[in-house]
Amino acid sequence: MYKKAALLTLSLAFTAISSKAQTTYLQLNQEDYHLLDRLETRSGQLSDNLFMFVKPVSRKSAVEFLQMQRRESRISGLSEIDKYNVAHAISVSGEWALEQNGALDSKRPILKTFYKKQPDLIYVNNDNFFLSANPIITAHGMYEQNNTNGTLFTSSRGLEARGLVAKKVGFYTMFTDNQESMPSFAAQWTDSADAVPGNDFYTKKGTGKYDYLTARGYIDFAAVKDHINVTFGYDRHFLGDGMRSLFLSDFSGGATFLRLNTRVWKLNYQNLYMELTPQYTRGADRELPHKYATMHHLSINATKWLNVGIFEGVIFDRRDRYEFSYMVPIILYRQIERSLGSPDNVVLGFNFKAIAAKHLQLYGQLLLDEFTSKELVAGNGYWANKFGIQLGGKYFDAFTVKNLDLQGEINIVRPYTYTHFDSTANYTHYNQPLAHPLGASFAEVLGTIRYQPVKNLYIAVKGMYYNKGVDTGGVNYGGNIFKDYDTRPSGYGVTLINGVKVQCASVNLNLAYELKENLFIDLGATHRRYAYESGILPSTSTTYIYGGFRLNFNRREYDFY
């Protein structure tokens, strides 16, 4: 795939020599995403440039939207904190401001060279070249109740840089060296899955202690100015408006990808081609096999307040060979799959987002893996009725309290969803689910309260509760998406929570204070309880507290299990 993708990227690049609409993208989970989402809803109108369902979001589109919101702040009634956040977000991506140098000047640069601009250690911006480079440093300590490993920690050190060359090519690169000692339940998941969530290769240094490198990067250019962008690199993606995604999430590690994003009128269309790693057992160093994925998503702002979309994805194994029939950007993959003899794993999805009263947002996803309408109506628990549903809502400036934002979400996925008769073609990458971290056979409720009482203080409370079916005695009840569905014990009588049921509840309180641009002090606590409904295994309950700092990096969270 590398050679073909590189050739395709190169050929498209030659068509983009005169284009000047390249961009770079906001890294996933940045605070700016909440700001963009909040302001879009508070404006009362969906943006025809953002299309925030598809992440990462272009910095160019984000800054254009934020500048428009700043101009209309009197009409939209933005709070003083909102205005501060807008100025901060524009400064961080200042190369796209109207004046093309929108990053805020530092009051005291170091040696007249470093931190000339508030967000950036190194900042260069002239007619033919732009570069922003920053260190990444994090250090968090944790104490978990009844954990015999002593003090837990996470630590990362690295560098990230983004830039523009001759206003024709955008690029981004990031590298970190990480050491992590996880809470007991997260370490248990990691050891069981042979995977550190969100990452690829790692080494284990002791009980619950992991060492790994993280590297991501891409180049981006415009194939058709202001309409089609081509991105080639190694990174993660997210499709959704919620805390989880049933289509594609950033839970798994990065992957080599080629992305074509087309924006015309009120339409946004993304084609994503990825090289993935099938499940494997850790052992001696060796070259790992590959599998492949092709996904496309089309959405339209049907009205000023309603966005609807359709998604299709296919996972397939060709023994390190790409199936070029799936390269066609405008065709149904299900039809291709059937023409090839139906050997692959195809999923179809629908999504919507609606805003109302400048304060409310509703969103949802419907994922269809397989289903038979006759069997579905019969209600007999047919195993192949495989689907997932997400429904969520957001309430901005809740109860007229400025910058108090609430979110609630429900996710339900039937057993055997995302699985396949060929375990290589299941909906996974590097021993991790590609979509929801719980896999299948679960019902989950999530809730978040976010409050920013002053400019630099961010308060968040996040709760999670789920019921899930797990396997016992070597029987495949459909909750483990890494198992072949042909190993199921029966074809009927499959319930939503199939097999032995477990219940999990957790709540997290986090306080984050921004000392200076992108330098945060974190303090928080989490309580979690996990129990088997039948009592066949002992329940576990734990509380851990943490504190630390992070510079140009996101806080590590453990709400995946």
- Burial label for 157, CB within 10 Å (0-12, 13-18, 19+), is middle
Give, as one character, the DSSP assignment of residue 64: H
Sequence ranges of the domains in the chain: 2-551
- pLDDT tens digits along 220-245: 999 888 899 999 999 999 999 999 99
**pLDDT, greater one: 377 or 368:** 368
Half-sphere exposure of 535 (CA within 13 A, CB side): 0
Q: Name the β-bridge partners of 203.
A: 211
CA proximity to 422, closest of 329, 337, 348: 337
Show the CA angle centred on residue 460, arms to residues 176 and 29, nearest 5°.
Answer: 35
- Among 101-115, 226-240, 256-270, name the one with the lowest average pLDDT: 101-115
Q: Name the β-bridge partners of 259.
A: 231, 272
Average pLDDT value for residue range 479-483: 95
Confidence class of residue 378 from pLDDT cuts 50, 70 and 90? confident
Residues 6+ apart with CB under 8 A from 228: 222, 260, 261, 262, 263
CA proximity to 479, closest of 391, 418, 401: 418
- pLDDT tens digits along 156-203: 999 999 999 988 899 999 999 999 999 999 999 999 999 999 999 999
- pLDDT tens digits along 520-545: 999 999 999 999 987 788 899 999 99
**Angstrom distance (rounded) from CA 556 to CA 542:** 18
Show the CA angle centred on residue 372, arms to residues 366 and 374, nearest 5°.
Answer: 120
Residue 378: phi and psi, rounded to 5, are -65, -25
CA proximity to 300, closest of 261, 272, 265: 265
**Angstrom distance (rounded) from CA 448 to CA 305:** 23
Q: What proportion of the chain, given as a percentage, has pLDDT over 90?
A: 70
Residue with tokens 């309950």: 541
Residue with tokens 């979400």: 409
pLDDT of residue 41: 96
Determine the topology of domain 2-551 in CATH. Porin (2.40.160)
**Angstrom distance (rounded) from CA 397 to CA 77:** 11
Tokens matching residue 529 = 């309880």
Average pLDDT value for residue range 300-318: 93
Average pLDDT value for residue range 79-95: 93
- Residue 247 and residue 556 in contact, taking contact as beta carbons nearer than 8 Å: no
Average pLDDT value for residue range 45-58: 95
> Taking the CB of residue 145, how many other CB atoms lie within 10 A of it?
12
Residue 449: phi and psi, rounded to 5, are -115, 125
SS (H, E, C) 445-503: EEEEEEECCCCCEEEEEEEEEEEEEECCCCCCCCCCCCCCHHHCCCCCCCCCCCCEEEE
CA proximity to 305, closest of 46, 47, 49, 48: 46
**Angstrom distance (rounded) from CA 475 to CA 447:** 33
> Taking the CB of residue 216, how many other CB atoms lie within 10 A of it?
18
**Angstrom distance (rounded) from CA 256 to CA 237:** 11
Count of helix runs (H) and strand runs (E) in the chain: 8, 24
Confidence class of residue 9 from pLDDT cuts 50, 70 and 90? very low
Average pLDDT value for residue range 113-128: 89
Tokens matching residue 547 = 């504190």
- pLDDT tens digits along 393-452: 999 999 999 999 999 999 999 999 999 988 788 999 999 999 999 999 999 999 999 999
- Residue 58 and residue 23 in contact, taking contact as beta carbons nearer than 8 Å: yes
- Residue 52 and residue 37 in contact, taking contact as beta carbons nearer than 8 Å: yes
pLDDT of residue 175: 96
pLDDT of residue 16: 46
C-alpha Rg value of the chain to the nearest Å: 23
Specify the 3-state DSSP secondary structure of 197.
coil
- Residue 426 and residue 440 in contact, taking contact as beta carbons nearer than 8 Å: no
Half-sphere exposure of 45 (CA within 13 A, CB side): 11
247: pLDDT strictly greater than 60? yes
Confidence class of residue 136 from pLDDT cuts 50, 70 and 90? very high
Residues shown for the chain: 561
| Cα 342 from chain centroid (whole Å) | 29
pLDDT of residue 73: 72
Tokens matching residue 155 = 């630590």
How would DSSP label each residue in 248-303? B-SSS--EEEEEEEEEETTEEEEEEEEEE-------S------EEEEEEEEEEE-S
